[in-house]
Structure 1
Amino acid sequence: MRQLTALDAQFLHAESATTAAHVAGLAILDPACSRLGAVTRECLVGLLRDRLHLAPALRLRLATVPFGLDRPYWTEDPDLDVSGHVHEVTLAGPGDDAQLAEKVARIHERHLDRTRPLWEMHLIHGLTGGRVALYAKVHHCAIDGVSGAELLAALLDLTPEPRAVERPAPGARTTAPGLAGMLAGAVARTVLQPARTLYSLGRMAAELDTMPLTSALPGARQVAAATRMIAGRAPEPVEPSEPPMPIAPRTPFNGPIGAERRFSYGSIPLADVKRVAKSAGASVNDVVMTLCASALRAWLRERDALPDRPLIAAVPVAVRSASAREVVGNQISVMVTPIPTDLDCPRERLRVMARTMLAAKRRFAGAPTAWLGELSSMLPSAVTALATSAVFRLASIVLPPINLIVSNVPGPQLPLYLCGARVLAYHPMSVLTDVSGGVNITCFSYDGSLDFGILSCPDRVADVWRLMGHLREAMDELMEQVEPAVPAVPTGPAVRIAPVGHPSPVREMVPA
């Protein structure tokens, strides 16, 4: 028996007419090396049937408690037919990146059917160059970034020839309790809820100065220090000189969102990102965050809407342990950090971003990793189910806590294959909500590239391709700051070395 955690249920409660809380990815495939020279729906359905046991999130559906009195349970769907979750479409033409992105955005807008396992796949034909795309989405209540990458890995192979996967012996099925069991559990949790709320309040009060957003509240450090002293804990986990988190400025990204979506995607060579990082003594993630800051700055400047202080970004962080890899649901936390959109010099933006991320990591290390779950469990499930969407919309109007979400998911640095077709790129897509802003930037490192996916609400950001263009321009700017690579001089007679320019900083948006 598996019940959704309070955090998992929060992703269900966040859904509304304008918010669909699923995560997704767009894989660009080259079928030239496959046995059939094509990727067919039949092949994909067969692959899913053979490997469904490796992906528990695809086998489960929700079993809801009457009247929403408690969080839903997971139960295996005995009538699951994967073919009902796999769809196929052919683009009418021209089959270019813009047309593909528009089709994917329309699919991404649609909510998943909660009476079935919460996933879909769409095989998209008709792309230029004989390519094929696979768009797959799974509800966020079932997976996070890490488990989503592992689910993808279960379907992929290291060679065009699919590997043989041994089916395990039938085991105990995941089932939900009956009606009486559900109601008994709901009553017990309702009785215990006041104690649970007090416990969560106590834990959060002791960490007010380390958690994102609350650290900026007046008196946060004093309240946290007093609570830790009463509990007999060590005094101050955060350096007193470290400034509190600033308040997110007003931007066009923030405010109530609509139901429509726009999507753009592109890739940047990972070698260039590593080269910039090495030259600046920064990390790859620091460079990614700087690229996003630079792109957002350029977009806002074009509209005369650039705030005079940094934007605030939320950065999801995986806290999933090795022993919890088979657990369906979310094991994530969030770092909240300023991003230096207010700085004009690209090199200075990178330097400040590296320093800011270091401070964010210190705050994150001092904060409880389960603070999101604690926050989600402070109120009864029936209350959060009714209130979450309204609270999110109100917060977006009154005081948005962040400007956007930026996520960087590490992936394998070798070519992978799906149904014999080589995966050229994988562009992730995430969730937009009223409270998190009308634009979301996610990237996935794969086979020497950083593959970006930018999702937006057109009421907030209509020209999402312009943001992707600004990301490429930001990479150009940073590469101009790097000394050109000079080959080693061979021993022997003196030789003249011609100046060597840096390689092209960005490849085509989607490999041909």
Structure 2
Amino acid sequence: MAQLTALDAQFLHFETATNHANIAGLAILDGDVNRSDLQDLLQQRLPYVPALRRKLAPVPLGLDHPYWVREDDLDLDYHVREIGLPPRGDDRQLAEQVSRLHARRLDRSRPLWEIYLIHGLSGGRMGLYTKIHHAAVDGIGGADVLAALLDLTPEPAPPPAVPPEEDEEPPTPLAMVGHALTRLAANPAQAVRFAAAAVPHLDEIPVVSWLPGAGLVSRLARRAAGAGQAPRLPQLPAPRTPFSGPLSAHRRFAFVSLPLEEVKEVRRAFGVTVNDVVMAVCAGALRRWLEAHGGVPDRPLVAGVPFSLREAGRSEPGNQVTIMTAPLAVHLEDPVERLRHVQQAMRRIKDRFSLAPARWLREFSESMPAALMGLAARSAFGLVGQTMPPINVAISNVPGPQFPLYVCGARLLTHYPVSVITDVSGGVNITAFSYNGSVDVGVVTDRRMVPDPWELTHDLRKSLDELRNEACRDTP
């Protein structure tokens, strides 16, 4: 039976009354889906989706990371729920409902997911909110879970011909303790190996990279190991903003769809990538918001950008992701300068990442005794979040399918990511998902820090228009 990795377990450990590790998506469907039909579809496909049919099995005394065990009596009446919006049923009412759902922690005694059918949305549409714990999946794994509900045609596809894999029997409590003691004995040696391996990458680790001499030590260590010179990463402390510091327990959510072709117009005009354009659009929107709420800092914001550690052709369970930090040039007034600044920063990070993927977070987590990880994670989050948060904002751009998909016969119109904010990563998360000709952007904020995230979605639209105007000006 699969055991959570140290990185998976971190997403359990850092949760508090104000920090939640739910990742989710809000699908807007053309038409209404019946709850029993969705439950029937899940009943057929759950055997092929391990993340949805497993629950946590803690190790006695918390000596090791929990295990995933099969839930033999999965209660779909609990996991699949339905609610209705009040009259008008507009997008703001939908987003407010999602805000409340997203701030609720999942029940750890059950499989860590919930689905809500949200009826009453105007225009004959329906919302489908799917929430799963980050300990079970990362962003790519979450997309795989969503894919279990989706079809290429209005008619649901039959179950795969290949039988699902059978789960192994869970270990006994005595076996869990024995394995935990073995791991505990190996931790000191593993920590030494991590320390030696981490020295060449000190300049990649937030907070540590700010220490005097960290960059020099990293370069000398790489040279001594014969690794050659790697592109230098930007080292800027995150400026204080209205969305820096400890979070409240409440969230706000808003969303917007941007035409993918307009993003590509900017990409072609300036010879950059789609991801560069998305990052620059976010930079422009955040600059506009900061101008209206306290002023723009005189240096870049620091964005946390997820990078996948999954190797091509391999499908490993759990979290295979790391966070790289990138400067976000909100301090530059000219939109083209902001775009060029983003392009250069992302190119340096990708070049560095291609030489040696940043696995330090996963390796560091594995080097710590499991019994200490919970306390260490919560203590570190509390201390760093209150004193010197290394990140201002989390931004992610996930490419998706460019053809229509269906859920129980209803066409998927848009799909908005609903992601995570923490004390350490800042009170704003902007995640984009491209689907069938549009870039669907979900904005999650702390309710106290950014009470109206719709301002940011409007600013995203204005920021893209600004870049398109510059692209037209530069086109002969």
Give the TM-score taking structure 2 as reference length. 0.96
Structure 2: gaps (5+ residues): none
The 1:482/1:433 distance shift into structure 2, 3 A limit, reads same
Shift of 1:389: 1.8
Shift of 1:212: 5.2
The 1:213/1:280 distance shift into structure 2, 3 A limit, reads farther
Letter of the 1:16 counterpart: T
Q: Does 1:356 align with 2:348?
A: no
Partner of 1:234: 226
Partner of 1:58: 52
In 2, Cα distance between equivalents of 1:379 and 1:220? 22
In 2, Cα distance between equivalents of 1:376 and 1:278? 41
Q: Does 1:160 align with 2:154?
A: yes
- Runs of 4+, deviation exceeding 4 Å: 210-213
Partner of 1:218: 212
Q: Note if contact 2:234-2:326 (Cα within 8 Å) is conserved in structure 1.
A: no
Structure with the greater alpha carbon radius of gyration:
1
1:3-42 paired onto structure 2 within 5 Å: 3-31=3-31, 38-42=32-36
1:269 to 259, 284, 288: 259
Partner of 1:68: 62
Give the length in aligned residue pairs.
476
Q: Does 1:474 align with 2:468?
A: no
Q: Does 1:111 align with 2:128?
A: no
1:261-410 paired onto structure 2 within 5 Å: 261-325=251-315, 327-410=316-399
Q: Does 1:260 align with 2:260?
A: no
Indicate the percent of aligned positions where both proteins have the same amino acid: 49
SS at match of 1:173: coil
Letter of the 1:83 counterpart: D
The 1:340/1:226 distance shift into structure 2, 3 A limit, reads closer
1:141 to 135, 142, 147: 135
Shift of 1:377: 2.4
In 2, Cα distance between equivalents of 1:108 and 1:167? 36
Give the TM-score taking structure 1 as reference length. 0.89
In 2, Cα distance between equivalents of 1:124 and 1:184? 46
Q: Note if contact 2:48-2:165 (Cα within 8 Å) is conserved in structure 1.
A: no
1:92 to 81, 86, 91: 86
Shift of 1:436: 0.8
In 2, Cα distance between equivalents of 1:317 and 1:378? 21
SS at match of 2:203: coil
Q: Note if contact 2:54-2:111 (Cα within 8 Å) is conserved in structure 1.
A: yes
In 1, Cα distance between equivalents of 2:97 and 2:63? 38
1:419 to 394, 400, 408: 408
SS at match of 1:248: coil
Shift of 1:171: 4.4
In 1, Cα distance between equivalents of 2:152 and 2:103? 32
In 1, Cα distance between equivalents of 2:342 and 2:467? 13
1:456-467 paired onto structure 2 within 5 Å: 456-467=445-456
Shift of 1:227: 3.8
SS at match of 1:257: coil
Structure 1: gaps (5+ residues): 32-37, 487-498, 500-512
Deviations 1:388-428 (A, max 9, x none): 12221210121111111101111000011100000000000
SS at match of 1:482: helix
Deviations 1:324-378 (A, max 9, x none): 42x3311112221001100001111111111111112123234443222012223
Partner of 2:178: 184
